[in-house]
A and B are shown apart, each in its own frame.
Chain A
Amino acid sequence: MFSRRTRIILSVLVVASLSFVILDLRGGDGPFSSARSAVSSIIGGIQSGAALIFSPFTGASEWWGTQVDQSGQIRELTVENERLSSALVSSQNDIARADQLDALLRVASVGRYLVTPAEVIAVGPSQDFAWTVTIDAGSLDGLEADMTVINGDGLVGRLLKVYNSTSTVVLIVDPVSSVGGRVAGSQEIGIVSGTGRQNSLEFQLLDPLGEVNPGDAVVTFGSKDGRPYAPGLPIGEVVDVTGSAGQLARIATVRPYANMSQLSVVGVVVKPPREDPRDSVLPNAPVVTPSPTPSTTSDPSPANEKETAATPAPSGS
């Protein structure tokens, strides 16, 4: 049916892919870490360049709207006008990026996180069902695996793999991601896990009698040494609670603050704050004047707690 050469080529390829699968499934560092890092250093550089070229298409979503309005005029416009409108698009794009960077700086300064800014240069296809993106910073920029990734709106994810100049980020909406969360203004803690859908997370309270209501904000609880998740970062807003108090499984649906399909400028928390910033990083949170001496003997959290409790829970952005 097939020639001998066809059969040989096919069987070599099939055996090769199957053995790749078996080798990679063994887990651990595996034989593919060096291959992955080689591919990432080749592709990563090109991707950064390509991401820059494609940024007018991927950056601002409102760009499509302006482009449709202009389409009628463009036929009559001169080359000069085309040049001007493309300059306009790229400056709009720059403004949008500057806004995102501003918001990131606000989060970083309010919570006193030390962040390294980076830009998303590639996104894994949705057919893989994995919510992972590549950013253009890596171990040369001081990044290590399991660092927290944020943007101006809140928590984005954590670093999964770090290569020389690029890193892979697993987003909090990825089905394998789980983050320790705390309801802002209370002590209720739970696990926030990804669902694979870009605008919903599952928040399972550890205490089945715990109080959680739609509109509540959820912040990170924080891990040991701030890895993989630094404390006090806004995760999202509770939109729905299923199961009543006392039921074994109380699950709240949380909408993340960060828009996972429009990520551009992100920040990697290279150093978490010395103290948990509690709820101060949340959007429209009460402005808490940071105590000038962090080593004060009085516990700052009760005062902080009262201020937050006095205001209604932030309603998100």
Chain B
Amino acid sequence: MIIRQGLFIGTCVFIAVLIELTLLSRIGIPGATPDLVVVTVVAIAFAMGPVQGATSGFAAGVLLDLSPSSDTIVGVNAIIYLIIGFVAGFWIDPRDRTLPIMIGITALSTSAAALGTAIVDTALGGDRVNWAEVPWITLSSALYGVLLSALIIPLIARLARPFLPDLSLS
């Protein structure tokens, strides 16, 4: 089960990183790049749990940091997405897993990712972050997060079903 879950997480994360870097960052819409990777990580956390969320966040962050179109410090995205994946999976209350609540948490997560990158980058002495742009980037990434999550969360929940332990027994 663990190996199959790992393969599922790896595939989802890899496809999300690929689509984000080749398609979403190039369609030229204003503000932040629609953060498909964070939405996918959060969707995995919702569907599978906090540990799986943290693992997929770590994998996605490392892949994004190492991919050739980024010049970030390796590990920064990894730790931010790791925390987001864990918190999202831990936070969601099993009793009210309604789509609006999950979309709200996702929007918070995408803006937290944008803000977190800016803060960590500045704290580590990077001189790239333009703080005048940060509020707009944060806000727009929340908006795109809402749009993407309405699609991705049900999709991942559906796809993840065969990889989950049988919940009907418990």
Interface residues of A (CB under 8 A from B): 5-6, 9-10, 13-14, 16-25, 32, 35-36, 39-40, 43-44, 46-47, 50-51, 54, 57-58, 61, 120-130, 132-134, 160-161, 163, 166-168, 170, 174-176, 195-197, 261-262
Q: Which chain B positions have C-beta within 8 A of A50?
A: 18-19, 22-23
Residue of B nearest to A262 (CB): B28
A219 to B27, CA, bound (A): 29
- In contact, A195 and B79 (Cβ under 8 angstroms): no
How many A-B pairs have beta carbons closer than 8 Å: the answer is: 180
Would you list 29 pairs from A and B whose C-beta atoms are within 8 A, ordered by A residue?
A6-B51, A13-B54, A13-B58, A16-B75, A20-B78, A23-B75, A24-B74, A24-B75, A36-B66, A39-B67, A43-B17, A43-B18, A57-B26, A58-B23, A61-B28, A123-B21, A123-B69, A124-B25, A125-B70, A127-B114, A128-B117, A128-B121, A130-B72, A160-B71, A168-B68, A174-B128, A175-B130, A195-B130, A197-B130
Q: Which of B30-38, B92-100, B160-168 touches A?
A: B30-38
Q: Which of A9, A16, A46, A57 contacts B18 (CB 8 A)?
A: A46
Q: A25-B73, A43-B18, A197-B133 are in contact. Are A127 and B63 (CB under 8 A)?
A: no
Contact residues, B109-131 vs A (CB, 8 A): 113-114, 117-118, 121, 124, 126-130
Q: Which B residues are CB-close (under 8 A) to A123? A: 21, 25-26, 69
Please report the C-alpha to C-alpha distance between residue A163 and residue B69 in the assembled complex, in whole angstroms: 11
Q: A17-B82, A21-B74 are in contact. Are A125 and B124 (CB under 8 A)?
A: no
Question: Interface residue count for B (Cβ, 8 Å)?
Answer: 55
Residues from chain A with a CB closer than 8 A to the CB of B43 are none
Chain B residues packing against A (C-beta within 8 Å): 17-28, 31-33, 35, 50-51, 54-55, 58, 61-76, 78-79, 82, 86, 113-114, 117-118, 121, 124, 126-130, 133, 137, 141
**A58 with B26: in contact, given A25-B73, A197-B133 (CB under 8 Å)?**
yes
Q: B31, B35, B51, B117 — which one has the most chain A CB atoms within 10 A of its CB?
A: B51
The reply to whether B63 and A39 contact each other, CB–CB distance below 8 Å, is yes
Alpha-carbon separation in the docked complex, A167 to B86 (Å) = 34
* Given contacts A13-B54, A61-B28, A176-B128, A20 and B67 within 8 Å (CB-CB): no
Q: A125 touches which one: B20, B75, B79, B82 (CB < 8 A)? A: B20
Residues from chain B with Cβ under 8 Å of A13 in the complex: 54-55, 58, 82
Given contacts A122-B21, A128-B71, 16 further A-B contacts (CB under 8 A): A5-B51, A18-B79, A20-B65, A36-B66, A39-B67, A39-B68, A40-B66, A43-B67, A122-B22, A123-B26, A125-B35, A126-B25, A126-B137, A128-B117, A168-B71, A170-B71
Residues of chain A lying within 8 A (CB to CB) of residue B22: 47, 50-51, 54, 58, 121-122
| Contact A132/B18 with A6-B51, A25-B124 known, Cβ cut-off 8 Å | no
A21 to B79, CA, bound (A): 9
Query: B28 to chain A: which residues have CB within 8 Å?
Result: 58, 61, 261-262
- Find A54's partner among B23, B55, B79, B130 (CB 8 Å cutoff): B23
Q: A21-B79, A163-B68, A168-B68 are in contact. Are A54 and B51 (CB under 8 A)?
A: no
- Cβ–Cβ contact A20 & B74, under 8 A: yes
Flag if A20 contacts B33 (CB, 8 Å): no
Give the distance in Å from the alpha carbon of A69 to the alpha carbon of B17 in the complex.
Answer: 32
With A123-B25, A123-B26 already in contact, the answer to whether A129 and B117 are too (CB < 8 A) is: yes
Identity of the chain A residue whose Cβ is nearest the Cβ of B66 in the assembled complex: A39
Q: A6-B51, A122-B25 are in contact. Are A127 and B35 (CB under 8 A)?
A: yes
**Could you tell me the distance between the alpha carbons of A195 and B129 in the complex, rounded to whole angstroms?**
10
Please tell me which one of the listed residues A5, A57, A167 contacts residue B68 in the complex, with CB atoms under 8 A apart: A167
CB distance from B16 to the nearest CB of A (A): 12
With a CB–CB cut-off of 8 A, which chain B residues contact A6? 50-51
**4 pairs of A and B residues whose beta carbons are closest in the complex:** A20-B75, A21-B75, A125-B33, A40-B68
CA–CA, A58 and B5, complex, Å: 33
Once bound together, how far apart are the Cα atoms of A36 and B69, in whole Å?
10
Chain B residues within 8 Å of A57, by CB: 23, 26-27
